[in-house]
Amino acid sequence: MSRGRLLTAGEVIARYFPAGDGERSVTPRWVYAHVFPRVDLARGVVRYYEADVEAWLESRRRAA
């Protein structure tokens, strides 16, 4: 099973949390604190698989 590309927090924000007109998007720190699972590659280097982020978002939508 392919989990897709590894994304940075900035790429997660750009792809899944785009800011609208006059709206504020989430920050990289928010992504680090709330989006799981994540891949810790080195100290301070964190990435997220596309499929994992999409599954996390879907679970949050169902919970709402």
pTM higher than 0.75: yes
Close Cβ partners of 57 (under 8 Å, ≥ 6 residues apart) = 16
Closest CA to 35 of 57, 19, 51, 14: 57
User: Would you state the pLDDT for residue 23?
Assistant: 77
* Structural domain boundaries in the chain: 1-11+28-64
Mean per-residue pLDDT pooled into runs of 10, the chain (64 residues): 93 90 84 95 95 96 87
